[in-house]
């Protein structure tokens, strides 16, 4: 048979009448033993337990965010490191266009007849750097 709240006694103070039942632990307490938390009257033990779990949750969130930030920075560093290493392996002739690859992949300077695939200003610039004129005669 269920006992009415008026007939219950405080868990901590046997001589006092219970005023509130804690919604978490379901024990009865007097007005001195309860605290309002999030709009509910709870015993101080349950409030302390909630505060510890909230602090642990906040700490876990902070650790996850820190790990995600460090992982993102590490990923960016690795990406740019290997991109730089790949760019460093490109021969310098590629950047300066001092030696153009001739027909069939040879390293001979491009003759005017073979440089027709280049736009006209680029063709003249490439041939001028290789020592040839657009007519095919050495300058």
Percent of all residues in the chain with a pLDDT value above 90, rounded to a whole number:
19
Q: pTM value?
A: 0.38
Return mean pLDDT, the chain.
Answer: 76
- Torsion over CA: 44, 47, 52, 55 (sign): negative
pLDDT at 4 over 60: yes
Mean pLDDT value of segment 67-73: 97
Look at residues 36, 47, 34, 37 and name the one whose alpha carbon lies nearest to residue 5. 34
pLDDT at 88 over 80: yes
Cα angle, residue 84 at apex, residues 82 and 86 outer, rounded to 5°? 70
**Band of residue 35 on the pLDDT scale cut at 50, 70, 90:** confident
Mean pLDDT value of segment 73-88: 95
pLDDT for 16 equals 87
Between these two residues, 59 and 4, which has the higher pLDDT value? 59
**Band of residue 99 on the pLDDT scale cut at 50, 70, 90:** very low
């Amino acid at each position: 048979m269920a006992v009415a709240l008026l007939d219950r006694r405080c868990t901590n103070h046997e001589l006092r009448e219970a005023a509130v039942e804690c919604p978490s632990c379901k024990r009865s307490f007097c007005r001195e033993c309860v605290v309002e938390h999030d709009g509910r009257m709870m015993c101080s033990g349950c409030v302390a337990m909630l505060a510890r779990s909230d602090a642990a949750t906040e700490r876990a969130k902070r650790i996850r965010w820190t790990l995600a930030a460090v992982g993102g920075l590490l990923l960016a560093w690795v990406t740019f490191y290997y991109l730089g290493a790949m760019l460093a392996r490109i021969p310098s002739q590629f950047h300066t266009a001092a030696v153009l690859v001739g027909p069939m992949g040879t390293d001979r300077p491009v003759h005017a007849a073979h440089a027709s695939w280049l736009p006209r200003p680029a063709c003249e610039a490439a041939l001028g750097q290789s020592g040839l004129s657009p007519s095919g005669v050495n300058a």
